[in-house]
Structure 1
Amino acid sequence: MKDNADTHAIDLLMVGPLIPEIIAYLEGKYRLHKWWTIEDKETFLREHGATVRGIVTSGRFGATKTLIDSLPALEVINSFGVGYDPIDIDAAHARNVVVTNTPGVLDDCVADTALALILGVSRRIAEADRFVRAGRWPNESFGLGRKIGGKRCGIVGLGNIGRQIAARAEAFGMDIAYYNRRARTDVPAHYRYCEDVVSLARESDYLVLALPGGSATRHIVNAEVLKALGQDGYLINVARGSVVDEAALVQALQAGEIAGAGLDVFEHEPKTPEALWSMDNVVLLPHIASGTHETRKAMADLVLKNLDGWFATREVVTQVV
């Protein structure tokens, strides 16, 4: 791609550390400022804020209204990840700032992780690993797990990732039901649509969360939903931590109101509730659903394509609506 301007004169602000390949590329092509390394941020904004034209961030680091408003020359925010709820979209739109993310390229790996969590909690994979490593196998028998074939998989959010999860779950012999803002007409007719999350939870053995974060979905899974899921039901979350009332989840697990959980995301990550650490019926992952070499490279390529495209032609590939 040929640039219409000298990109080395363009100031970018990276909010938090991203993968080394992105950092190296941006340092070689733009004038990159690393927000997390700047001790005196007020002085930086006073001296350089007026020249920053782009923000590079992720679904973890986001971009606040305060930061957006402090950069008068800001044109574009490029996010590494599909989730963009930590970015103040209203503030960006008010300033006519373009926001991009990286949808599509991580669907397969996130769906794979959802299935890994379903299998992990059902067949007690992590627990069995700990059992062997502790040297208990020669003297004890390990308990039984649960078969997932024939069970009901309820998916909250049947978007691109949700449909990939459904396809994988169905391949394992699971029945599919879902909740969406509206019923889909482009999915198999035997996928059952539920009008609300409580109804879906009541019909599910596994309630899998694959919906966006943000204020509209905050705590959509609450105590009522968990109670509807019931003592034989499992909660699987590969969406955003904010969509689950974490305190209610801990309480439901402690009281035995649900059978277990597989969690890749948390409400206050990287902090996780200590009460979950000792629970054998819970599998905890450090937000790694998209964490493969192949997917992270594809995400990085899309971030850079959006960024270079904007400064070359004022066009991006994946603009957030």
Structure 2
Amino acid sequence: MKPKIFITRKIPTHVINHLEEVCEVSIWEHKDIPVPREVLEEKIVDIDGLYCLLTDAIDLELLQKATNLKVIGNMAVGFNNIDVEAATKRGIIVTNTPGVLTETTADLTFALLMATARRIPEASDFLREGKWSTWSPMLLTGQDIYNSTLGIIGLGRIGEALAKRAKGFNMNILYHNRSRKIEAEQELGLEYCSLENLLKRSDYICVMTPYTPETKKMIRKEHFKIMKETSILINTARGGIVNENDLYHALKDGEIWAAGLDVFEQEPVVLDHPLLSLPNVVTLPHIGSASIGTRTKMAEVVAENLLQALNGKIPTNIVNKELIAK
């Protein structure tokens, strides 16, 4: 009997075909609508593998219904949408897609930094709305990027890739991480410092750390108060790492100059969210890894993770490695 897999969103056809060669596959066919909770609860009862997205909450209540589930393949680097502890207790392997999206997300992060600093979306709207009547010396002036100071909070793969891009702009690069990375410091000329020191000195602050209980709302009111008035905050990690209410007031009151956000605490963000009312905020709908090549590769990696686990092998990208010993 073929193992059963449920896929919570439409993915590339060739990936589905690959899975169907050895598995019985069912799919939530709606491309842009998350699978309803009741459908997920129904499907998870007898499946062997779950192919899910970061928009799917795989919590304890759901896992208690999963009597046959052996593996969860999450199409993301992060996995805070999954109760990994509960899955581990039930012997369920959890996998993710690290590495695949590193360069693409670093590209987007630097693009968002540049768009925010130089007010590109605002300038485009200005032109399209017919407001451009003449050249003016201080019209839509932004912040310089070349020779400025970049602070990276969380120096993982994407953080290091971002640092490499910043070197091309001759930026002075600071970083804060749980542990020092001496090799990266030597290779890229990085300076390790405390979070407070980084915030005080940086012109651009990029949040790149994973979302964990320790990093929840780690950037908040007291941190905005020590940043430069000309500083720009960029967040392409997870929305919950930054206190959004505190960020709104810091931007509104001029404590910092601008923010570029690809992520929000609640997604999709509501249109009346206070941050969306500010002209000095550039927002994106969580598209950090959204290149055709990268999203296709992510889909393929999830499929391989699932097939490896269902064939009794240790998946390449297992999250709960403590299961390996068992």
1:228-307 matched pairs, under 5 angstroms: 228-272=226-270, 274-307=273-306
Residue 153 (structure 2) aligned to one of 152, 156, 167: 156
Q: 1:42 to 1:103 in 2, by over 3 A?
A: closer
Q: Check the 8 A contact 2:70/2:310 in 1, yes or no.
A: no
- Give, in whole Å, the separation in 2 of the partners of 1:302 and 1:182: 29
Choose 20-29 or 267-276, whichever is displaced more. Answer: 20-29
Q: Which amino acid aligns with 1:56?
A: Y
Residue 27 of structure 1: CA displacement?
A: 5.6
Q: Check the 8 A contact 1:218/1:244 in 2, yes or no.
A: yes
Matching residue of 1:17: 9
Residue 111 (structure 2) aligned to one of 109, 113, 116: 116
Choose 55-64 or 67-76, whichever is displaced more. Answer: 55-64
1:87 maps to 2:85: no
Residue 147 (structure 1) aligned to one of 112, 126, 144: 144
- Give, in whole Å, the separation in 1 of the partners of 2:279 and 2:110: 18
Choose 18-27 or 164-173, whichever is displaced more. Answer: 18-27
1:96 maps to 2:91: yes
Q: Check the 8 A contact 1:202/1:228 in 2, yes or no.
A: yes
* Superposed CA RMSD: 2.2
- Give, in whole Å, the separation in 2 of the partners of 1:264 and 1:222: 18
Choose 230-239 or 183-192, whichever is displaced more. Answer: 183-192
Matching residue of 1:135: 130
- Give, in whole Å, the separation in 1 of the partners of 2:250 and 2:41: 48
Q: SS in structure 2 opposite 1:188?
A: helix
Length-normalised TM-score, structure 1: 0.89
1:196-215 matched pairs, under 5 angstroms: 197-215=195-213
Q: 1:263 to 1:73 in 2, by over 3 A?
A: same
Q: Show structure 1 runs of 5+ residues with no match.
A: 1-5
Q: Which amino acid aligns with 1:229?
A: M
- Give, in whole Å, the separation in 1 of the partners of 2:203 and 2:81: 31
Q: 1:159 to 1:220 in 2, by over 3 A?
A: same
Q: Which amino acid aligns with 1:31?
A: E
Residue 179 (structure 2) aligned to one of 182, 191, 195: 182
Q: Show structure 2 runs of 5+ residues with no match.
A: 29-33, 321-326
How many residues align? The count is 309
Q: Which amino acid aligns with 2:185?
A: P
- Give, in whole Å, the separation in 1 of the partners of 2:134 and 2:12: 47
Q: Check the 8 A contact 2:217/2:241 in 1, yes or no.
A: yes
